[in-house]
Structure 1
Amino acid sequence: MADSSRFQPNASLDVVGIGNAIVDVLVQTKDSFLSEHDLQKGGMCLIDEQQAEALYQSSGPGLETSGGSVANTMVGIAQLGGRTGFIGRVRDDQLGSIFSHDIRAVGTRFETPSATTGATTARCLIYVTPDAERTMCTFLGASTQLEPEDLDLSMVKQTKVLYLEGYLWDSPAAKRAFIAAAEACRAAGGKVALSLSDGFCVDRHRESFLELVNGHVDVLFANEVEIKALYQTEDFDIAIEKVRGCCSVTAVTRGSDGSVVLSGDQRWEIGIYGLGELVDTTGAGDLYAGGFLHAFTQGHSLERCGQLGALCAGQIVTQLGARSQVSLPELMREHLN
């Protein structure tokens, strides 16, 4: 059942995301490349600009698209037919132009001015091995220089949901922007959603995240590792019980075990959609959030939100990269009655 009463009535956008503006460079490679460059398979490491350039030059042909977790989610919502905006910082360089053009081309509003000084545009080198495992090397560059002055608060005040990336908590300036945007959105009647982003990110900022989750976030997204890290337990059910009631809605993904959606004393177990051979897990969590938030902003039931999230995630892992190569609305019509 749809419920559009949960949002401000005059919102011109469904979801606005604030996150790291990163160009994803996806490269299909062999395990030997990882060994040669001393990269931990399946891991995510931060690298500096010199390392990023050296790895980029050593890599084979790659697929370059606008990326970053929240940006991927905004694109997924736009592909589903939602109205989205994105706020993030790039530099006035080649990769910055690629990011700006790519995210606008899919219908997402992006108006943050490019930096003219400082670090170059962020990039994430994503190495996908034949077993579909991804190994990520990220240079955050200009994305960490987002300031409160970069915020388009008019956009924030026009959205049903503001979606924030936990990674922003690593930068004091971006953190201030994050808080200012959340306050402006809530004052205008919008809702705030947060992605915990990464288990290591949770470990770095646990106390701040717990404070956010307890009363400042309406919709929380996490995977199993992140939610257990937040509550410092190895028991998934204990973590779920601790988060229950802290946010209006919590969605936790569990890989091949599907996902769990919580609201009050209700719990929905959402299965996975096996739509083909596993090729690349890049963007699976991002597209889950995209499907979920699209259904959520259209007033659908929370069970339906979880199902659309699972469907979008199930599609994206059958291809290279986080941009669906098939029509997500057609996929939705085919699999969700």
Structure 2
Amino acid sequence: MTQTLPAPRFDVLCIGNAIVDVLGRVEDDFIVREGLVKGEMRLVDAGRSAEIYGHLGQVVRMSGGSAGNTAAGVGSLGGTVCYIGKVADDDLGRAYAHDLGHLGIRFATPPLSGGAPTAVCIVLITPDGERTMNTYLGACQSLTTADVEADADAIAGAAITYLEGYLWDPPEAKQAFRRAAEIAHASGRQVAITLSDSFCVDRHRAEFLSLIRTGTVDIVFANEHELKALYETGDIDAAVAALKEDCTIAAVTLGAGGSLALTRDETFHVRAAPVNQVTDLTGAGDLYASGFLYGLARGMPLADCAAIGGLCAAEVITQIGPRPMRSLADLVRQAGYPA
């Protein structure tokens, strides 16, 4: 006899590094002077973070973090969302919690008291819209299994639990990551991971492949660079073929080439949504995941999930910052999809 699952309490539950983004516009020369690699995300200590910040002019500050951005996108689409991530009991941490609450996102992770401050990512945006990120992880590295256990009911009640690949760096967070997947699967729910960036894949390739091949995660999000890094090939077709063998569902973003929605038996190639002006690429992948996850949680066909993801990504790159500034639900409805 097939057991019927209770209706999900949340469409998506996101777990990731809770980071406040500081966004500044710079010229390419600034990247060179600071000894940075354009387009790279690098981890820095508190001193280096303060040094780069001191060399900037006017900046925009907003709550961020990859999975936090995805949570915000799902909320803007009209989905029900929960977020698990660690901030400090400081001004930035309280601002982060306020921002999520304002978006209707449940965020109940207890803040860190007496430890490192809330994480900060300095995002340098060059005229071509490319972003170079310098991240001080601070308090977000202190996420523990206890934080996941405290929200076990929310995980069990979420249609999809979405895990940020960056979270795989701190050992304690890695255990929290695994425990969240166990709770979700024990409740008959799905688990998704984003590979986050190719440098993250290089650090954790074997473990990421194990997560996928053992079924610890059901859904994989990657861009073409991350996917090539995962399978150590320069051939995107070979990487896609390998991913289809390894996982149940995957979404692969191809920039201006659109995206692929994959199962072991099917491949859907969806064109990129048109963009008049690229302002800032920050959050494009995060918001693509928002649209895809929202559609999947609502039972939409995979090609539609990918198309909605593309609409959300196209919208966010026309603005500064990774959080949508207008209703994504309205955007999706205007395109003819249910929201």
TM-score w.r.t. length of structure 1: 0.95
Amino acid at match of 1:309: G
Q: 1:125 aligns with which of 122, 127, 142?
A: 122
| Partner Cα separation in structure 2 for residue 246 and residue 297 of structure 1 | 22
Deviation at 1:10, TM superposition (A): 2.5
1:33 positional shift:
2.7
Is this contact kept in 1: 2:64–2:323, CA < 8 A?
A: no
Q: Secondary structure at the match of 2:101?
A: helix
Shift of 1:317: 0.8
Deviations 1:93-133 (A, max 9, x none): 12112211111111111111110122111111001122211
Provide the identity percentage. Answer: 45
2:90 to 90, 93, 116: 93
Aligned residue in 1 for 2:133: 136
* Structure 2 match to 1:15: 12
- In 2, Cα distance between equivalents of 1:202 and 1:276: 32
Kindly state the Cα deviation for residue 298 of structure 1 after the two structures are TM-superposed: 0.7
Q: Which residue of 2 aligns with 1:326?
A: 326
- In structure 1, distance between residues paired with 2:26 and 2:235: 35
**2-structure distance, mates of 1:18, 1:328:** 21
Aligned to 2:203: 204
In the alignment, the residues of structure 2 paired with residue 309 and residue 82 of structure 1 have an alpha-carbon distance, to the nearest angstrom, of 14
Could you tell me which residue of structure 2 aligns to residue 282 of structure 1? 282
Query: When the two structures are superposed, what TM-score results if normalisation uses the length of structure 2?
Result: 0.95
Alignment correspondent of 1:294: 294
Deviations 1:223-242 (A, max 9, x none): 10111111111111111111
Deviation of 1:64 (Å):
1.4
Match of 1:269 in 2: 269
Q: How does 1:1-337 map to 2 (within 5 A)?
A: 8-151=5-148, 152-214=151-213, 215-337=215-337
Deviations 1:124-143 (A, max 9, x none): 10011222111111111111
Q: In 1, distance between residues paired with 2:18 and 2:30?
A: 27
Spell out, residue by residue over 1:219-260, the C-alpha distance to the aligned partner (whole angstroms, 9 max, x if none): 110010111111111111111111114222110001111111
- SS, match of residue 244 in structure 1: helix
Question: Which amino acid in 1 is paired with 2:201?
Answer: V
Partners in 2 of 1:220 and 1:33 — Cα distance?
35
Unaligned runs of 5+ in 1: none
- Secondary structure of 2:67's aligned partner: helix
Contact kept in structure 2, 1:27 and 1:128, CA below 8 Å: yes
Q: Distance in 2 between matches of 1:186 and 1:26?
A: 37
Q: Which runs of 5+ in 2 are unaligned?
A: none
User: Which residue type is aligned with residue 288 of structure 1?
Assistant: Y
In structure 2, the residue corresponding to 1:262 is in which secondary structure?
A: strand
> Retained in 2: the 8 A contact 1:72–1:283?
yes
Shift of 1:285: 0.2
One-letter code aligned to 2:64: G
Check whether the contact 1:157–1:185 (CA below 8 A) recurs between aligned residues.
Answer: yes
Q: RMSD across aligned C-alpha pairs, in angstroms?
A: 1.4
Q: CA deviation at 1:205?
A: 1.0
Separation in 1 of the partners of 2:166 and 2:5?
A: 28
Change (3 A) 1:8 1:193: farther
List, as ranges, runs of 4+ consecutive aligned residues in structure 1 with deviation greater than 3 Å.
none
Contact 1:222 1:251 in 2 (8 A): yes
Query: Does the 8 Å CA contact 2:92/2:118 hold for their aligned counterparts?
Result: yes
Q: Following the alignment from structure 1 to structure 2, what is the Cα–Cα distance between the partners of residues 62 and 9? A: 45
What is the deviation of 1:279? 0.6
Paired residue type of 2:16: G
Deviation (angstroms), 1:41? 2.1
1:134-190 alpha-carbon deviations (Å, 9 max, x no partner):
111111111111111112112111111000011111111000000111101110111
How far apart, in 2, do the equivalents of 1:227 and 1:275 lie? 24
Q: Aligned partners of 2:336 and 2:281: how far apart in 1?
A: 22
User: Could you say what secondary structure the match of 2:246 adopts?
Assistant: coil
